[in-house]
Structures are given as structure tokens and as C-alpha cells.
């Protein structure tokens, strides 16, 4: 009799596979309020590693962490017309507190441009106070009509950066720097997803921004996922909140601003970009546990060796977990670690002790092979780097194989509906074509230049539209 799959095969039902994997790998549960989630310890460990890697890059770009309030006066949002209009359907508004009606309703933060500017307007007095580069790690609430764990939830975790600059050029360059050096560097070199960097069209732009830069990843079913965005805000919020500075020649000027964010949605992207029918595959540079050392049986000599190997690998700088829970069947434990996507399993039993070997199982390429125990500490770092590179290569190959070059709106819709991306000249598509795509649930994910770089303007000659169905 054929063995029942641990999770629904991806080819049978991709959404069911995604939900099965989240449940079986113990990443998250649905929260008690519709659209919320409980992030379980292993899922949160993935987010913690994401935070650590991202935070280091954000600080290298010169930003400092701060914290702004969860509650925002409703009047703040109404100061910037496009902003309030863009977020109005998603707002959670508190009208009662302390047992009585509030004099002014407060909004549970959907994003913090408004409350940040209330502080920036106080903090910025002179050109000497600029640039002001702030980031915060926080939660936000956007009332989600079609929730999906990690991808779209009513409350989610994220980082949001907010900066103020003396000139348009400086703000523009900083938004681009975050796009490249923080987001792209993390997503490509740690998350192992070969994202496309581009510019949003006017209809897809962040509410209140003059330009939005995006990073789009292809998921295992061919749909796109927006992984992060960096916005040029111009002077829209500065004028709404009076965020001004005295220039070197004594003139009062409005600051130029940026904002940028990425969220727990990246955990969903990790699952859908790299997962397979056996569960997660976690990139070694991201993995909270890079190597798990398993005792096959509860023999004292085996347990001693397993713990010794664990210590030796940890000393070599690897993130290691020792699994000596021999009261749980070995097969069940092995499947559990495979579901969780731990890059390497080192399995040791009585027979291995006799030969001075261990069985090395690699999650990313699959397969097992015997390895001398004494060679593991020297061997594993290289193995993990090979597997990191393989995930990135597979991500790139999937996107290239499932992206069609087309010349009409009809062909673009056909490619997207079939489970892929399409590229066509923006001069051919235009805003009119964008509306036609939307009728089929297809969107322009971004605009890219002919050479694949990020274009300077929406209407730059040679711009190419990348279109797809998206999460």
C-alpha cells in the first residue's frame, strides 16, 4: 500500500499544501479573531533570524531603531488626502476607551508616516539635523478581508523605516539604497529568492508616495509575491505636518522623505518559493537550526557521541540542535526535521559508532551519504554554502522558465492565467492595458528597464512591464 503523503502534494492543491505545511511544520496557527495569527516558536525563530539579518543591514545603511505609538489620532491620517483614502478600507478605529466615548477616535497603526511626522516636525529644526534616519520593528493592523497566514493577516509584524532629507536627490538615492543594499541583498543572499527589482506603476504606488520601488519574487505556483517596498514620499507628508528645516543660507524649507517596509510576509515567501512535497527547505544562511544531530537509538554510547558531535559543530560556528529524544521513534523525528526544512541532519546509531561514521542527510538537494564523524566540522560549512547557492539557482531557473516575452495584453493574460509571468513593453500596455489586465485578476508587478535595472521614471523609453497574478 502506498504511503500517504505528509502534506498535500503541491501539484494537487497548492493552497492546501501551503496550509498543511504551516500546520505540520508548527509555524503558526490561526488566532481567535478572524485574520489574526499565532506565530509558533519555530515560525518565530525564522522571523527572528530575518530580523537579525535585516537589522544589521538597516544599521549599516545608517538608520537607528526607535519606537512610535500603536494608537494614532484619526485626524493625523486625514492630513494627507491620498494616504487616508488609500488606507480607509483597512483601518481599525477605537472609539471607546476607559469605559467612555473618546473625544477623538484613534486608529490602530496601519503604517506610521503620520505619527512619525508629528515627531519629525519637532525634532528637525536645521539642516544640521538632517538626514534623520529612523527604523522601527513593530506590529501593524490592516483589516484584511481575505486573510491567509503570513501572507495577508489583520495584524502582522514588520519593520518600517522613515527618513527625512534636505534634498530630493538625497531622499531618492536613500530609498534606492535601502531597495538594493538592505532588501535585495537580504532576499537574494540570505533568503535565496531571486527577486526582480523594479518600479511600481502609478496605480500600484503606495498611498501618498511619489514613487514606489518593489521587489517581486516568483512562488512555486508561478504567482508573484511583493516581498518589500521602498517609497519616495516627496514633500507630501512634510507639507501636511509642517516638517521644515532652516537651510544653510537661512531659508525655511520642507524636508524630502522616504519610507520603506518588509514584514512577516517574507516567511510566507520562504515557504512558497522553496518548499516541496516533503515540507520546508530553509536556506542555510537563514536557518535558525542549520544542523540537527539525531540519536537513532537510546544507547548510552550513541547519546554521548551525539552530544559530543553537537558540541563540536557548535564550536565550529554552526547553529546546531541535538535531538536525543529516543523515547520518540526515530522515523517520526526525522520526518519532523524534514518538514521544518533544517538544511542538514547528522544521524548516528550503534552501527555508525562502530565504523566512526554518521549518516548525513541534506534537505535542499535531498539524499543521504555516510561521512566520517571526525570530518563533519570541516565538511558541513562548505556543504551548507553549496545548498544555499542551489536554492538561489533553482529560484532563478524557475522564474526564467516561467516568464514569457509577449507583445499583447491578451498574451500577457494567457501567460499569467497559465501560472507564470509575462514581460511586455510598457509602451504597448500602458494604463489602459493595465485596466484590462485587472479584469482577469492580473497586475503589473513592476516596471523594469530594458537592461533589467530599475527605471528612473514610469515613462522612461524602453520600460518593460512585468505582469502576473499575485498574492
pLDDT digits (tens, 9 = 90+) for 13-67: 999 999 999 999 999 999 999 999 999 999 999 999 999 999 999 999 999 999 9
What pLDDT shows up at residue 284?
98
What pLDDT shows up at residue 3?
63
What pLDDT shows up at residue 432?
96
Q: Which residues of the chain have pLDDT under 70?
A: 1-3
By the 10 Å C-beta count (0-12 exposed, 13-18 middle, 19+ buried), 381 is classed as middle
Cβ contacts of 293 within 8 Å, gap of 6 or more:
306, 309, 310, 313, 320, 321, 322, 323, 345, 346, 348
Residue 60's CB is within 10 A of a number of other CB atoms, namely 11
Query: Nearest Cα to 291, choosing from 303, 304, 282, 300?
Result: 282
Cβ contacts of 159 within 8 Å, gap of 6 or more:
51, 54, 55, 58, 135, 136, 137, 138, 261, 262, 263
Strands (E), 275-349: 291-295, 320-323, 344-348
Grid cell locating 442: 492580473
pLDDT tens for residues 248-286? 999 999 999 999 999 999 999 999 999 999 999 999 999
> Of all residues in the chain, what percent carry a pLDDT higher than 70?
99
Q: Which helix (H) or strand (E) holds 120?
A: helix 113-123
The SS3 assignment for 42 reads: helix
Rg (CA), the chain: 25
First to last CA, the chain: 37
What pLDDT shows up at residue 33?
95
What pLDDT shows up at residue 145?
86
Amino acid at each position: 500500500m502506498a504511503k500517504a503523503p505528509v502534506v498535500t502534494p503541491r501539484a494537487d492543491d497548492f493552497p492546501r499544501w501551503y496550509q498543511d505545511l504551516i500546520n505540520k511544520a508548527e509555524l503558526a496557527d490561526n488566532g481567535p479573531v478572524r485574520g489574526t495569527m499565532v506565530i509558533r516558536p519555530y515560525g518565530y525563530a525564522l522571523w527572528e533570524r530575518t530580523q537579525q539579518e535585516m537589522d544589521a543591514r538597516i544599521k549599516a545603511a545608517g538608520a537607528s531603531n526607535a519606537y512610535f505609538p500603536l494608537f494614532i489620532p484619526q485626524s493625523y491620517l486625514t492630513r494627507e488626502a491620498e494616504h487616508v483614502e488609500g488606507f480607509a478600507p483597512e483601518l481599525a478605529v477605537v472609539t471607546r476607551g476607559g469605559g467612555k466615548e473618546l473625544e477623538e477616535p484613534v486608529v490602530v497603526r496601519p503604517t506610521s508616516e503620520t505619527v512619525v511626522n508629528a515627531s519629525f516636525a519637532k525634532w528637525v529644526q536645521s539642516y544640521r539635523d538632517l538626514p534623520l534616519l529612523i527604523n522601527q520593528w513593530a506590529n501593524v493592523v490592516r483589516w484584511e478581508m481575505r486573510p491567509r497566514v503570513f501572507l495577508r493577516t489583520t495584524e502582522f509584524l514588520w519593520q518600517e523605516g522613515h527618513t527625512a532629507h534636505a534634498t530630493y536627490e538625497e531622499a531618492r538615492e536613500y530609498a534606492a539604497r535601502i531597495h538594493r543594499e538592505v532588501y535585495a541583498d537580504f532576499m537574494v543572499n540570505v533568503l535565496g529568492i531571486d527577486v526582480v527589482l523594479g518600479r511600481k506603476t502609478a496605480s500600484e504606488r503606495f498611498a501618498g508616495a511619489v514613487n514606489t520601488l518593489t521587489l517581486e519574487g516568483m512562488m512555486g505556483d508561478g504567482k508573484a509575491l511583493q516581498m518589500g517596498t521602498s517609497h519616495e514620499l516627496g514633500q507630501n507628508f512634510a507639507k501636511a505636518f509642517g516638517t521644515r528645516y532652516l537651510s544653510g543660507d537661512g531659508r525655511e524649507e520642507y524636508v524630502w522623505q522616504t519610507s520603506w517596509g518588509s514584514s512577516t510576509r517574507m516567511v510566507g515567501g520562504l515557504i512558497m518559493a522553496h518548499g516541496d512535497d516533503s515540507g520546508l527547505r530553509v536556506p542555510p544562511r537563514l536557518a535558525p537550526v542549520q544542523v540537527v544531530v539525531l540519536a537513532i537509538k537510546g544507547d548510552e554510547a550513541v547519546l554521548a557521541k551525539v552530544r559530543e558531535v553537537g558540541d563540536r559543530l557548535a564550536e565550529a560556528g554552526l547553529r546546531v540542535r541535538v535531538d536525543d529524544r529516543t523515547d520518540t521513534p526515530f522515523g517520526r523525528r526525522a520526518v519532523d526535521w524534514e518538514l521544518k526544512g533544517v538544511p542538514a541532519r547528522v544521524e548516528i546509531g550503534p552501527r555508525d559508532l562502530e565504523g566512526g561514521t554518521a549518516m548525513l542527510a541534506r534537505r535542499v538537494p535531498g539524499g543521504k551519504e555516510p561521512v566520517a564523524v571526525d570530518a563533519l566540522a570541516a565538511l558541513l560549512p562548505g556543504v551548507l554554502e553549496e545548498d544555499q547557492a542551489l536554492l538561489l539557482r533553482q529560484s532563478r531557473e524557475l522564474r526564467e522558465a516561467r516568464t514569457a516575452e509577449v507583445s499583447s495584453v491578451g498574451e500577457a493574460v494567457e501567460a499569467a492565467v497559465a501560472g507564470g509571468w509575462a514581460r511586455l513593453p510598457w509602451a504597448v500596455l500602458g494604463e489602459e492595458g493595465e485596466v484590462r489586465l485587472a479584469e482577469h485578476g492580473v497586475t503589473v508587478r513592476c516596471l523594469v528597464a530594458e537592461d533589467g535595472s530599475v527605471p528612473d521614471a514610469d515613462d522612461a523609453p524602453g520600460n518593460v512591464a512585468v505582469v502576473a497574478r499575485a498574492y
